[in-house]
Structure formats: structure tokens, C-alpha cells
Amino acid sequence: MVEFLDILNIPIQLLYYAPYHSKYNPIEGYWGILDQDWNGGGAKLVDVEVILSWASNMTWKALYPILSLSKTVYQKGISLTKKAMKQVESRLQRNPLLPK
């Protein structure tokens, strides 16, 4: 993400939702709909095509999701060194009005 922002040469401010405040996060509306249908037995998720077809037709607040299937396998356990993380953190400015 940092490299992407460097390429665009624009500042971005990150804000995090407090734990258990999913009502403010739009993606959580979709997860709630998926969860209700899957747990209720309405959707039989037998393969990827069925899942993508079903999910692409759902709506939340009159909006349709944008879907794409990624077949990329990502390596696990990759993290920044402490030195690299300090360089990233030195560029972050925390809003003093928000708790850490």
C-alpha cells in the first residue's frame, strides 16, 4: 500500500473502525446478508461459479458488489522487518482526537 501511495504521490488518511462497530463499515452489510442466507440454507455453495453468481446478484442499500475471482496463492508469514516498519510508521500521522 505504501508503494502504491508513493506512485500516486497523494496523501491518504487511514481510519479504523472501533471493534464491534461494524454498522459503520459498508462491507459488513454484505457479510450480514451472506451469513443469513448461508446459515438459513438458502444458498447451496457447491462450487465457485455458484458462489460468484449468487453473490453478484445480491444487493445492499440498492448497491451491487463488484466481484472478481483471484486464483493467486499468497505466501504466508511475510512481514516487514522492524526497521522497514519504523520507516512506514514515520510517515503516519495519527489523528489526536481518535484513540489509538
In the predicted model, what is the mean pLDDT of the chain?
A: 79
pLDDT tens across 37-79, in order? Answer: 677 666 677 888 888 888 888 777 788 888 888 999 988 988 8
The predicted model scores a pTM of: 0.41
Map grid coordinates 496463492 to a residue. Answer: 73
Distance between CA atoms of 2 and 58, rounded to whole angstroms? 33
Please count the CA atoms within 13 angstroms of the CA of 43 that sit on its side-chain side.
19
Map grid coordinates 481518535 to a residue. Answer: 98
Map grid coordinates 464491534 to a residue. Answer: 20
Which DSSP state fits 24?
Answer: G
Pinpoint the alpha helices (H) of 1-100.
2-8, 26-39, 48-56, 82-89
